[in-house]
Structure 1
Amino acid sequence: MDALVRPMTDADCEAVGRLRTDGWRAAYAGLMPRAYLDALDPAEDAALRRRILAAAPPSVVDAVAEQAGEVRGWACWGPLREDAGPGSSEGSRDAELYALYVRPERIGTGLGHLLLSDCLERCAAAGYPRLRLWVVAGNTRARRFYEQAGFRPDGSEQTDPVGGEPVTEVRYGLRLG
């Protein structure tokens, strides 16, 4: 595959905003309210990405997968954002994969694996004992992707409202190193 993973820059925010909103619409069709997904605005998401990128501490990594000069994937990871919950070891300092999206028409081409491999390598090199992530419970494609990479549900679930409807997420974990 002729693709590279590189740090995300401010100039990538528009492409990532489009990629993320298109990714939500494709991945969560039938899992989240259609009106909510239809209302997602790539320009608003790009502005949010720009603010988050500018304010991110050095421990948070935003990376893009570039192919043929275009951003076709994006991942973001860093320290676990909350208490590690079930299955964690006392005092562990786990990492969390906050997001991983590939252009919907590029799913299955290896770009997701490329981004995930970069994340796993960099988290292990940073000394994180485990990588965790949240997946919408009904997103069987994503769950299969992470399970094939060795991730397993760790017993934590959360349900939050999205567009007025409850959406349940399952947390997965993978021991590094």
Structure 2
Amino acid sequence: MRVDLPVLVREATAADAESIGEVHAEAFRVAHRDLFDGDWLRELVERRRTMWVHRMSGREHARNTLLVAERGRDVAAFVYFGPHSDGTSDGEIFDCFAHPDVWGRRVAATVMDKAWELLREARFRRVRLWTMAGANRARHFYESFGFTETGQRRERDFGDGRPVLEVEYVRRTR
């Protein structure tokens, strides 16, 4: 992936599903390699590689927004967001990942800036998200965008019977 090209942010289409899956899989593999057993991590990575084709055709996807950041013809990052599932006036960022080849090059920041603009326009009072406690790169990224921990914690089992601690972050839109 060429990193010297300008970044274009746009809404994802069904034709982007495989590219989004590739970004998700590679980012998840590199970012979470210390958080999961190797065999289990490989399975989780493969799930992320293929899940977007199905996710983008579901009803839930229709009420949310999926943006991609492109460099040249390559999807380099994405952010998936919408109304919070608890029915409050909050928004939620469900997924935000950038391909490791563009980490530190403001590609994820560019797509997040556009997502933030749309979340504000939608008049959400606050925006919340969950991330793994051990995902230090992601936590630093969200904190650089003004997100702060709420103090809420939960354990999430990704299917291997070994729950991972997640922390919730929040940022006010006004």
Q: Do both share a fold (TM > 0.5)?
A: yes
1:52 equivalent in structure 2:
55
2: distance between equivalents of 1:64 and 1:152?
A: 24
Equivalent AA in structure 1 for residue 171 of structure 2:
L
1:87 equivalent in structure 2:
none
Deviation at 1:34, TM superposition (A): 1.7
2: distance between equivalents of 1:64 and 1:96?
A: 17
Deviation at 1:112, TM superposition (A): 1.0
Aligned length: 168
Q: How does 1:118-133 map to 2 (within 5 A)?
A: 118-133=114-129
The question of 1:37 aligning with 2:41 is answered yes
Q: How does 1:74-153 map to 2 (within 5 A)?
A: 74-82=78-86, 92-153=88-149
Identical-pair percentage: 28
Conservation of the 8 A alpha-carbon contact between 1:160 and 1:166: yes
Q: Could you say what secondary structure the match of 1:63 adopts?
A: strand
Conservation of the 8 A alpha-carbon contact between 2:28 and 2:45: no
Q: Could you say what secondary structure the match of 2:33 adopts?
A: coil
Q: How does 1:5-24 map to 2 (within 5 A)?
A: 5-24=9-28
Q: TM-score, normalised by structure 2?
A: 0.89
Identify unmatched segments of 5+ residues in structure 1. 84-91
1:175 equivalent in structure 2:
172
Conservation of the 8 A alpha-carbon contact between 1:136 and 1:167: yes
With over 3 angstroms needed to count, the CA separation of the structure-2 counterparts of 1:161 and 1:40, relative to structure 1, is closer
Conservation of the 8 A alpha-carbon contact between 2:84 and 2:91: yes
Identify unmatched segments of 5+ residues in structure 2. none
2: distance between equivalents of 1:34 and 1:82?
A: 34
2: distance between equivalents of 1:143 and 1:169?
A: 11
1: distance between equivalents of 2:52 and 2:28?
A: 15
1: distance between equivalents of 2:19 and 2:61?
A: 22
- 4+ long deviations beyond 6 Å: none
Q: TM-score, normalised by structure 1?
A: 0.88
Q: Could you say what secondary structure the match of 1:165 adopts?
A: coil
Conservation of the 8 A alpha-carbon contact between 1:5 and 1:115: yes
Q: CA RMSD in A?
A: 1.7
Conservation of the 8 A alpha-carbon contact between 1:13 and 1:46: no
Deviation at 1:49, TM superposition (A): 1.2
Conservation of the 8 A alpha-carbon contact between 1:73 and 1:111: yes
Q: Which of 67, 70, 79 in structure 2 is aligned with 1:66?
A: 70
Deviation at 1:145, TM superposition (A): 1.0
